[in-house]
């Protein structure tokens, strides 16, 4: 028993060390969806109903009751974005153009690696313990130091680690419930031009924080081959503390930001021994991402001064997907999926740091089962992002600075390659196979 829990913990710690070293780029808002290599192959369809393998725990911790014994899963996704913002000379402040020029950003998106680590242990016929270590939010974009939008954003980097222990209870073959704790660390780096008149001057914010929330979920199996799941990830309040560095001096800073809660509904339906179809709908409460004041804690700026804001004014986000799996033979399973994502970033409030827009996902993947204990997953996704306009030219945009409008357009697309490894540590009972496929 003790060795099982030690392995569960060590698997999660290894994942956390890796998560801490990377960020992610251009997800819906700043959410990171690439939490499971298996799930990405079906565009995360059915993720709340076990369709993303053991990684389904991210969306719905009750899904771990689908996996017998003591199991672990690790995934690693390489995100390769191509995003360029071009100023519109006709709408952008002549002062910004004179100071910084009118060139485009080039590719502002930064490639990133996003890992995920999951482990579950079946204590008895009814109780499961699990641990997920993930990076649920992230952003990494770099605009040139001197370009027309530099006053509104140069470097932006957000990195998170979410440590999520869970416990699930299986009442019977139809119904399971689960609850978990979220312990999330966030680290933020923001920079922008300090002046519209003087090039090569920069304001920098460096901050970090810890926050606590929870996860919950349930699965329902009304008939053989049918699984319905719903999962909830709570809001997490992060009290940031750090420094503000500027050409005229440095100050301490503090701000409180709330990460949004999320509800995911999933369906997995086995048609026959070879075919399974899946579907998913997800809502993310991005409308709480409004305006978060930043206060000085002392230094060049007097303590208590609200000297800037983290301003977003986003809307709620939605994601809907469908996919299918085909069990080719005893070893190979192939899958494909498609999804549409409604961005929380609207035309009115879009900025230069996260020029997000609605997108279409097309995905494909395969798994190879070496044995009852070991399998690998490989998936690919291409994301078509709608071209976006940026209109920082009135008080309707929360980051607008009077007298220095910026207008431009952004083009984006993203490629993702994901690989996963799944391993069962104990010996499977003869004739009993995990419900993974």
Instruction: Give the pTM.
Output: 0.91
Q: Yes or no: is domain 2-424 CATH 2.60.40.10?
A: no
Strand partners, 424: 71
The phi and psi torsions of 419 (rounded to 5 degrees) equal -130, 140
Element (H, E) at 19: helix 2-19
Q: Looking at residue 141, what is its pLDDT? A: 86
CA 106 vs. chain centroid, Å, equals 24
**Mean pLDDT for back-to-back runs of 10 residues, the chain (437 residues):** 38 35 53 95 98 97 97 95 93 95 89 94 98 93 89 92 98 98 96 92 96 98 97 97 96 96 98 97 96 96 96 96 97 98 95 93 98 97 96 94 95 96 89 45
Q: Looking at residue 27, what is its pLDDT? A: 53
Distances 2 to 9, 14, 157, 402 between C-alpha atoms, Å = 11, 18, 39, 62
pLDDT tens sequence across 181-230: 999 999 999 999 999 998 889 999 999 999 999 999 999 999 999 999 99
Q: Taking the CB of residue 334, how many other CB atoms lie within 10 A of it?
A: 14
Q: Looking at residue 144, what is its pLDDT? A: 86
pLDDT tens sequence across 314-369: 999 999 999 999 999 999 999 999 999 999 999 999 999 999 999 999 999 999 99
Q: Which residue is associated with the tokens 């369906």?
A: 267
Q: Looking at residue 430, what is its pLDDT? A: 63
Instruction: Classify each residue of 396-416 as buried b or exposed e, where b means 16 or more C-beta atoms within 10 Å of its C-beta.
Output: ebbbbeeebbbbbbbbbebeb
């Amino acid at each position: 028993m003790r060795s099982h829990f030690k392995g569960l913990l060590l698997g999660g710690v290894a994942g956390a060390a890796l998560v801490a070293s990377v960020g992610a780029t251009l997800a819906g808002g700043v959410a990171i969806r690439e939490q499971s290599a298996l799930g990405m192959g079906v565009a995360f369809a059915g993720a709340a109903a076990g369709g993303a393998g053991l990684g389904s725990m991210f969306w719905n911790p009750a899904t771990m009751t689908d996996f017998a014994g003591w199991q672990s899963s690790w995934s690693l996704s390489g995100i390769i974005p191509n995003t360029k913002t071009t100023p519109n000379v006709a709408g952008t402040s002549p002062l910004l153009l004179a100071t910084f020029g009118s060139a485009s950003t080039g590719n502002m998106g930064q490639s990133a690696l996003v890992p995920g680590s999951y482990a579950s242990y079946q204590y008895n016929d009814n109780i499961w313990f699990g641990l997920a270590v993930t990076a649920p939010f992230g952003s990494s974009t770099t605009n040139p130091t001197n370009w027309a939008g530099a006053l509104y954003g140069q470097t932006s980097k957000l990195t998170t680690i979410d440590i999520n222990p869970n416990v699930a209870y299986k009442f019977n073959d139809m119904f399971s419930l689960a609850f978990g704790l979220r312990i999330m660390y966030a680290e933020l780096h923001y920079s922008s031009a300090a002046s519209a008149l003087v090039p090569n001057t920069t304001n920098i914010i460096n901050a970090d924080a810890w926050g606590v929330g929870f996860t919950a979920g349930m699965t329902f199996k009304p008939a053989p081959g049918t699984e319905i799941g719903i999962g909830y990830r709570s809001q997490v309040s992060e009290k940031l503390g750090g420094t503000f560095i500027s050409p005229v001096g440095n100050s301490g800073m503090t701000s409180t930001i709330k990460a949004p809660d999320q509800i995911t509904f999933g369906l997995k339906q086995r048609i026959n021994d070879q075919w399974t179809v899946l579907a998913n709908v997800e809502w993310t409460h991005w409308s709480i991402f409004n305006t978060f004041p930043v206060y000085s804690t002392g230094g060049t700026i007097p303590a208590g001064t609200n000297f800037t804001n983290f301003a977003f004014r986003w809307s709620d986000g939605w994601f809907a997907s469908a996919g299918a799996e085909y069990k080719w033979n005893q070893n190979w399973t192939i899958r494909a999926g498609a999804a549409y994502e409604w961005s929380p970033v609207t035309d009115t409030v879009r900025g230069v740091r996260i020029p997000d827009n609605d997108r279409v996902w097309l995905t494909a993947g395969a798994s190879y089962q070496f044995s009852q204990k070991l399998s690998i997953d490989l998936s690919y996704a291409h994301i078509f992002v709608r071209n976006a306009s940026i209109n920082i030219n009135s008080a309707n945009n929360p980051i607008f600075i009077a007298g220095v409008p910026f207008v431009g357009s952004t083009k984006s697309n993203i490629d993702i390659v994901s690989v996963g490894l799944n391993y069962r540590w104990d010996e499977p009972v003869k004739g009993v196979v995990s419900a993974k496929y």
